[in-house]
Copies of this chain bind each other. A is one copy, B any other.
């Protein structure tokens, strides 16, 4: 049975000592988030994750979801009760504005707790996770009536949401989609077509399921310009707004997947289902992107969460498993062998994951705070700057944290040796679950292209220039600080590599866009590396300040932070040069083989 301890102390360190969220008490909802409230929320979230959600995780993997002949779907045992408690705690609406039934607290808190929940059971948390994305889309694009009709029940969790984009012949390229919407006399539409890979498409957790569906209205333009977004409930609402007659949508089958067995991945068949236009006609893609951007941050968070839970289990195993002796002499001479944590290569795995997780957590919270500022600030300039950074970093958060999340789950599994490969210890599940995060909500190659092809050049590169300035200023500011030198020197080197890569793209990708495509994955990871290095720089600074002020019993917490920061600088940041070398090698060789030669 896997263990999991929500990293509350670490979250608090980032929120209070690194990001200083109290500085933002002028933003709506932040004044309420006093230090006491924040700590209480995190602690209660941790309790729920550890005691209620975690015990359902392995059962979810083993049992999976079952589709019955009547097209209904049963979730694994324990899911219903855990979901009920999650809803009752008000967690879905933590950061949803009070006018829609939420608590209006900062989004950064929602994500802080979101890491714990996803760490405890990623597949289960996808049900409310998708609901949250649908809520965001309805808030952004719904009419007042639609908001009043759908949001309160969704915020409660009584109804869940889904995203219906993919069709058998069309995943990334939504311009190809065929699902059609025919206007009905009453102003609604009749939706027909088939959607695949619909997470949480059918299940037994909620009274109703609110599908957000991309479809093409009859006569709409071809391609992405003719796509509209529709609300299609599983049960149509009766005169009292309660689920009534069954709508023409059903689950045709469940996919057999590598992991996230606890989530029902459905083929959804729409047969003249009643749907309601959400947002403008033919404006569906833009409306869907509201949901998608929120979802991408959530998927990045999943990567972090799986990396963390896998790490914790590997660390516990490494402290207990006795095998071999330390290279520097026995450490447990009274035992038949030393615990394997004495072996440098086991440490290498653990330290690498840890160094990424702590930076990833800071980055995830830093990004979430940008989202709060972008949505809540009254200051245009501040809002725009936050929006810029959020847009730039969303693909990095999704692409980098999920690539790394999977890589780390594999490293943690490796610490278990053969015991990691059998299903008994649960390490295989973390690997299999983490794998999907690299794929869904836009495969990571698409994230990289979004960064390089879209976000980088927006507004004349304003966002990336702001990032360069922020990181450069940080290095400059601490240039004379000897204690910070081990961090700022390496960070500056990484920043230089990123700037050189950006310059190379400016000079080489305009005329030849394939140079951008060929550079994209490395550029995304290089940006992520510098962003994590920047997080480590800030965390090192905060740790040094705390130690200088006399941290008392907490001293070891801060000392460990500094050790882990050094590890990141010594062992992870050197990759920046290899990324730059690959980026500047261009597309020519990559594209040279004829397709038939593959």
| Residues A422 and B578 in contact, CB atoms below 8 Å apart | no
A336 touches B256 (CB 8 A): no
A255 to B564, CA, bound (A): 37
| Given A418-B171, A582-B570, CB of A517 within 8 Å of CB of B327 | yes
Stretch at the interface among A46-54, A122-130, A342-350, A383-391: A342-350
Given contacts A336-B176, A445-B345, A517-B345, contact A440 B418 (CB under 8 A): yes
Q: Which of A278-286, A358-366, A431-439 contacts B (4 or more CB under 8 A)?
A: A431-439
Chain B nearest CB: distance from A218 CB in Å?
A: 19
- Say whether, besides A327-B516, A421-B439, A344 and B166 are in contact (CB < 8 Å): no
Mark the stretch among A25-33, A109-117, A290-298, A589-597 that contacts chain B.
A589-597
Q: Give residues of chain A (564-590) contacting chain B, Cβ–Cβ below 8 Å.
A: 564, 566-567, 570-571, 574-575, 577-578, 581-582, 585, 587, 589-590
Residue in B closest to A329 when the chains form the complex, CB atoms: B513
Let me know if A556 is at the binding interface, CB within 8 A: yes
Please tell me which one of the listed residues B323, B346, B439, B592 contacts residue A414 in the complex, with CB atoms under 8 A apart.
B439
Shortest Cβ gap from A450 to chain B (Å): 12
Residue of B nearest to A318 (CB): B598
* B residues in contact with A479, CB < 8 Å: none
Q: Contact check: which of B315, B444, B564, B590 meets A344 at CB < 8 Å?
A: B590
Nearest neighbor of A578 in chain B, beta-carbon distance: B574
User: Measured between alpha carbons, how far is A319 from B512 in the docked complex, in Å?
Assistant: 22
Q: Give the residues in chain B near A585, CB-CB below 8 Å.
A: 570-571
Per-position 1/0 for A283-320, Cβ under 8 A of B: 00000000000000000000000000000000100110
A344 vs B586: C-alpha distance in the bound complex, in angstroms? 10
Q: When the two chains form their complex, are residues A439 and B420 in contact, meaning their CB atoms are under 8 A apart?
A: yes
Bound state CA distance, A322 and B256, in angstroms? 24
A542 to B174, CA, bound (A): 46
- A595 and B339 in contact (CB under 8 A), knowing A585-B571, A589-B570? yes
Q: What residue in chain B is nearest A579 (Cβ atoms)? A: B574
Tell me, in angstroms, the Cα distance from A420 to B259 when the chains sit together: 12
A422 touches B257 (CB 8 A): yes
Least distance between A583 CB and chain B CB atoms (Å): 10
A471 surroundings in chain B (CB, below 8 A): none
Q: Does the CB pair B444–A414 fall under 8 Å?
A: yes
Beta-carbon contact of A593 and B575 below 8 Å? no
On whether the beta carbons of A343 and B256 are closer than 8 Å, the reply is no
Collect the chain B residues with CB atoms within 8 Å of residue A175's CB.
337
A428 at the interface (CB under 8 A from B): yes
Q: Does A400 count as interface, using CB distance less than 8 angstroms?
A: no
Most buried by B among A422, A512, A585, A589: A589
Task: Name the residue on B nearest A584 (C-beta).
Answer: B570
* Contact A172-B323, Cβ < 8 Å, known A421-B258, A574-B577: yes
Q: How many copies does the complex hold?
A: 2
Contact partners of A170 in chain B: CB under 8 A: 323
- A58 beta carbon closer than 8 Å to chain B: no
Interface size in chain A (residues, C-beta < 8 A): 98
A598 lies within 8 A of B417 (CB) = no
| Cβ–Cβ < 8 Å partners of A86 in chain B | none
- Whether the Cβ atoms of B574 and A581 lie closer than 8 Å is yes
For A591, list chain B residues within 8 Å (CB).
Answer: 344, 347
Inter-chain contacts of A594 with B (CB < 8 A):
556
Question: How many Å lie between the Cα of A345 and that of B582 in the bound state?
Answer: 13
Q: Does A443 contact B (CB under 8 A)?
A: yes
Q: Is the pair A417, B432 in contact by a Cβ cutoff of 8 Å?
A: no
What is the distance, in angstroms, from A334's C-beta to the closest C-beta of chain B?
A: 15
Partner pick for A169 among B322, B347, B593, CB 8 A cutoff: B322
Bound complex: CA of A513 vs CA of B342, how far in Å? 12
Report chain B residues within 8 Å CB of A587. Answer: 344
A598 touches B169 (CB 8 A): no
Q: Which residues of B contact A590 (CB under 8 A)?
A: 344, 347-348, 351, 567, 571
Min Cβ gap A426→B in Å is 11
In the complex, what distance in Å separates the CA atom of A339 from the CA atom of B595?
Answer: 9
Q: Given the complex, which residues of B lie within 8 Å of A196, measured CB to CB?
A: 418
CB distance from A574 to the nearest CB of B (A): 4
The residue in chain B whose Cβ has the minimal distance to the Cβ of A171 is B417
Residue of B nearest to A574 (CB): B581
Contact A348 B518 (CB under 8 A): yes
Q: Are B256 and A595 in contact (CB under 8 A)?
A: no
Query: Which B residues are in CB contact (< 8 Å) with A176?
Result: 322-323, 336-337
Task: Give A64 Cβ to nearest chain B Cβ, in Å.
Answer: 12
Contacts from A to B (Cβ < 8 Å): 166, 169-173, 175-176, 196-197, 255-259, 265, 315, 318-319, 322-324, 327-328, 336-337, 339, 341-351, 354, 406, 410, 413-414, 417-424, 428, 431-432, 435-436, 438-440, 443-445, 448-449, 512-514, 516-518, 520-521, 556, 560, 563-564, 566-567, 570-571, 574-575, 577-578, 581-582, 585, 587, 589-598
Known: A344-B517, A344-B518. 18 other contacts (CB 8 A): A170-B323, A173-B323, A176-B323, A257-B422, A265-B422, A318-B598, A319-B595, A327-B514, A327-B517, A328-B512, A344-B514, A345-B521, A349-B445, A413-B435, A421-B440, A431-B435, A570-B589, A574-B581
Interchain residue pairs with CB less than 8 A apart (17): A170-B323, A172-B323, A173-B322, A257-B421, A258-B431, A328-B512, A344-B590, A345-B449, A347-B518, A347-B590, A347-B593, A350-B598, A413-B435, A421-B440, A560-B593, A563-B589, A566-B589
